[in-house]
Structure 1
């Protein structure tokens, strides 16, 4: 897909992928708004923010190595927004000690990665391969982060704890980046986004299997 039609649509797909990804990152505001309404983070996991922050940070380094402005600029915006969400979550949570430990670990991992790329002496090709594999793993974990609440969803038989806008946006974004990866023939983009698309479909299916209480009431009122 690297030539012909792919070359024609690549500029448009790049810009739409960038725009939709920024929209995806902004879905975190919905989680923060829910925390604001409740006045507490109880029942809300910081996992999407934590995994999003470290995944974006890794992809910034990968984008620089690949000299792909779309990749590093998109993830720079993502890392900034996830950092803002984490600060807000930290200000509202009662379990700051655990969150501080996780954030410290993430900062150490990111710093280690940057220093390794700068001082390891590895060739650019080897670094792209190594960092690419790390990005594949972190991206899959980032998209699957909301599934950490699957136990709550099943036990309560309600998808209320899952952020629907985030899950839906994840599906749209991953599908676009999968197409982008196919065109530029980059397995680091193709593999995680193919898997992430499947995960997103699984997440969305939970909203049909276990609808939130408000949705149940809406259906009953229509009978």
Structure 2
């Protein structure tokens, strides 16, 4: 007889590997920034959002909040460290106004995470209550992060170009969503199921758009954005 926990662990490990690849997907962009010593028109918004999302999921997966979630902690802890590196590079080469804006947003995020942690640990005294509070917050921000590619999808439809929506990223995001949704369903965890289920749906929509517009003659669009990762959702 197949052990459900063993299968869940295998799926979770696969999810960790795929999510790690997603966290590293923006690396070429930051290599470009370092080489040019300039962030150009790129913005740190997706990475600030991923930083907050990872921090919340790390807290959710801790034994004092939601026991037996070590795989959630490991991948989001890794993602958190990677986002710190990305934000450090951006800070090093961004002009002063962008630096100040980034620091302001980061400060608000840190205060928010600390407030959530303090409130939960002091006000909720069971794993069930802590999981409910932190998990609900994670659903909200995880869903927002998964919804970020909607702007890229709109651009694809408007410009008829898939330049800012690489197939590999969309496909890996789809696999990531499938993995973590499966992981959550084996030992039902609604807080992981909802954002990753939404992520799977949106990644599927991206793949459909890609095949619809691949090879189409693009309209002119001079604006530039950072590629958006599905982080974490990659971030679970």
In 1, Cα distance between the equivalents of 2:33 and 2:9? 38
Structure with the higher fraction of residues in helix conformation: 1
TM-score (norm 1): 0.82
What's 1:12 paired with?
10
What's 1:88 paired with?
89
What's 2:66 paired with?
66
Q: Relative to 1, partners in 2 of residues 1:104 and 1:134: Cα closer, same or farther, differing over 3 Å?
A: same
TM-score (norm 2): 0.78
3-state SS of the aligned residue for 2:162? Answer: coil
Q: Deviations over 1:131-160 (max 9, x none)?
A: 111111111222232333445444443232
What's 2:132 paired with?
129
Does residue 113 (structure 1) correspond to residue 116 (structure 2)? The answer is yes
TM superposition shift of 1:210: 4.2
If asked which structure has higher relative contact order (CA below 8 Å, sep 6+), I would say 2
Q: Deviations over 1:130-189 (max 9, x none)?
A: 111111111122223233344544444323234554433221111100010010111111
In 2, Cα distance between the equivalents of 1:81 and 1:119? 30
Q: Deviations over 1:41-69 (max 9, x none)?
A: 34434232122111111011110111211
| Within-5 A mapping of 1:43-62 | 43-62=41-60
Tell me how large the CA RMSD over aligned residues is: 2.7
Query: Any stretches of 5+ residues in structure 1 without a counterpart?
Result: 216-223
Between Structure 1 and Structure 2, how many residues are aligned? 213
Q: Is the 8 A contact 2:121 2:130 kept in 1?
A: no
Q: Is the 8 A contact 1:28 1:166 kept in 2?
A: no
In 1, Cα distance between the equivalents of 2:149 and 2:113? 22
Query: Any stretches of 5+ residues in structure 2 without a counterpart?
Result: 219-236
